[in-house]
Structure 1
Amino acid sequence: MIRTLLGSAALAVLVTVAPHVAQAQSISGPYLAARQAAIENDFEAAARYYTEALSRAPGNPALMEAVISTQLALGRVDRALPIAKLIESRDLRSQTAHMAVIADLLAREEYDTFLARDVEQLGIGPLVDGLLVAWAKIGAGDAEGGLADFDTISEERGLRGFALYHKAMALAGLGDFEAAEALFEAEAGPLQQTRRGAMARAEVLSQLGRNEDAIASLQAAFGSSTDPELSAMELALEAGEVLTFTHITSPRDGAAEVFYSLAGALRQDAGADYTLLYGRVARHLRPDHIDALLLNADLLEELEQFGLANAAYKQVPADHPAFHAAELGRAAALRESGKPEAAIEVLEQLAKRFGDLSIVHSTLGDVLRQQDRFEEAVESYNKAIDLLGEGERGSWFLHYARAISLERLKDWPRAEADFRKALELNPGQPQVLNYLGYSLVEKQIKLDEALEMIEEAVTASPDSGYIVDSLGWVLYRLGRYDEAVEHMERAVELMPVDPVVNDHLGDVYWAVGREREARFQWMRALSFVDPSEVDGEADPDRMRRKLDIGLDRVLDEEGAEPLKVADEDG
Structure 2
Amino acid sequence: MLAGLGPLQAEAKRGPQSALELYARARIGDGTDAVRSYSAALTAAPNEPTVALYAYRQAVAGGDYALALRAAQTLERTGFLTPDARLLLYVAALRDHDWKAASARLADIAREANFAFMVPVLADWLTLGSEREPASVPVKKTLTSGDAYTQENRALLMLARGDEAEGSIFVKTLWPLDPYRSQSLRLTAAATLADRGQRDAATALLIADDYATVAAKSQIAKRRSLHIGIDSPAGGAAFLFSRMAGDLITQGSGRAAVTLARFAQFADPENPRVALIAAGALAIGSDDDKATALGLASQVRKDPVYGNDAASLRIDLLEQLGNVDQAVAEARARAKGSINDLARVGDIEARRGKFTEAANIFRQVLAARPGDQASGILLFAIGNALDQAGDWKAARPYLERALTLTPGDPALLNELGYGLIEHGEDMERAVKFLDAAAQIKPESAAIMDSVGWANYRLGNYDLAIASLEKAVAVNNGDPEIDEHLGDAYWRDGRHIAARYSWAAARIQADGPMATRLDTKIERGLP
Q: TM class, shorter-chain normalised?
A: 0.7 to 0.9
Secondary structure of 2:4's aligned partner: helix
- Does 2:118 correspond to 1:136? no
Gaps of 5+ in 1: 1-12, 219-225, 553-570
Aligned partners of 2:192, 2:367: CA distance in 1, in Å? 36
* TM-fit CA distance, 1:376: 2.6
* 1:472 counterpart residue number: 452
1:72 to 23, 40, 60: 60
* 2:213 counterpart residue number: 230
* TM-fit CA distance, 1:44: 4.6
* 2:94 counterpart residue number: 106
* 1:495 counterpart residue number: 475
Aligned partners of 1:245, 1:523: CA distance in 2, in Å? 59
- Does 2:242 correspond to 1:260? yes
CA deviation map 1:466-516 (0-9, x unaligned): 221111111121222332222222233333333322222222223223334
- Does 2:485 correspond to 1:509? no
Aligned partners of 1:314, 1:303: CA distance in 2, in Å? 18
Alignment CA distance shift 1:27-1:443 (3 Å): same
Gaps of 5+ in 2: 13-17
Aligned CA RMSD, in angstroms, stands at: 3.9
Secondary structure of 1:102's aligned partner: helix
Alignment CA distance shift 1:271-1:23 (3 Å): farther
* TM-fit CA distance, 1:307: 0.9
Aligned partners of 1:54, 1:150: CA distance in 2, in Å? 45
Deviation larger for 199-208 or 540-549: 199-208
Greater relative contact order (Cα 8 A, min sep 6): structure 1 or 2?
Answer: 1
Residue identity in the other structure for 1:69: R
Mapping of residues 329-368 of structure 1, within 5 Å: 329-352=313-336, 355-358=337-340, 360-368=341-349
1:308 to 292, 303, 307: 292
* 2:309 counterpart residue number: 325
Query: Is the 2:159–2:193 contact (alpha carbons within 8 Å) kept by the matching residues of 1?
Result: no
Aligned partners of 1:187, 1:367: CA distance in 2, in Å? 37
Residue identity in the other structure for 2:317: A
Q: Give percent identity, aligned residues only.
A: 24
Alignment CA distance shift 1:465-1:402 (3 Å): same
* 1:483 counterpart residue number: 463
* TM-fit CA distance, 1:189: 5.1
Secondary structure of 2:304's aligned partner: coil
1:178 to 127, 141, 165: 165
Residue identity in the other structure for 1:362: A
Aligned partners of 1:357, 1:122: CA distance in 2, in Å? 49
Query: Is the 1:440–1:450 contact (alpha carbons within 8 Å) kept by the matching residues of 2?
Result: yes
CA deviation map 1:114-145 (0-9, x unaligned): 445353236793343433332232133x2xx2
Residue identity in the other structure for 2:416: L
* 1:84 counterpart residue number: 72
* 2:440 counterpart residue number: 460
Mapping of residues 371-410 of structure 1, within 5 Å: 371-387=352-368, 390-392=371-373, 394-410=374-390
Query: Is the 2:276–2:297 contact (alpha carbons within 8 Å) kept by the matching residues of 1?
Result: yes
Mapping of residues 432-451 of structure 1, within 5 Å: 432-451=412-431
- Does 2:284 correspond to 1:296? no
Alignment CA distance shift 1:27-1:425 (3 Å): farther
Aligned partners of 2:352, 2:149: CA distance in 1, in Å? 44
Secondary structure of 1:287's aligned partner: coil
Aligned partners of 2:99, 2:8: CA distance in 1, in Å? 44
Mapping of residues 5-84 of structure 1, within 5 Å: 14=2, 16-17=3-4, 44=32, 47-48=35-36, 50-51=38-39, 54-55=42-43, 57-84=45-72
* 2:152 counterpart residue number: 165
* 2:267 counterpart residue number: 285
TM normalised by structure 1 equals 0.77
Residue identity in the other structure for 2:516: R
Secondary structure of 2:299's aligned partner: coil
Residue identity in the other structure for 2:450: S
Aligned partners of 1:21, 1:418: CA distance in 2, in Å? 67
Aligned partners of 1:366, 1:158: CA distance in 2, in Å? 34
Query: Is the 2:482–2:504 contact (alpha carbons within 8 Å) kept by the matching residues of 1?
Result: yes
* TM-fit CA distance, 1:325: 1.7
Aligned partners of 2:399, 2:326: CA distance in 1, in Å? 30
Alignment CA distance shift 1:488-1:191 (3 Å): closer
Alignment CA distance shift 1:498-1:158 (3 Å): closer
Aligned partners of 1:390, 1:190: CA distance in 2, in Å? 26
* 1:541 counterpart residue number: 515
Count of aligned pairs: 508
Secondary structure of 2:165's aligned partner: helix
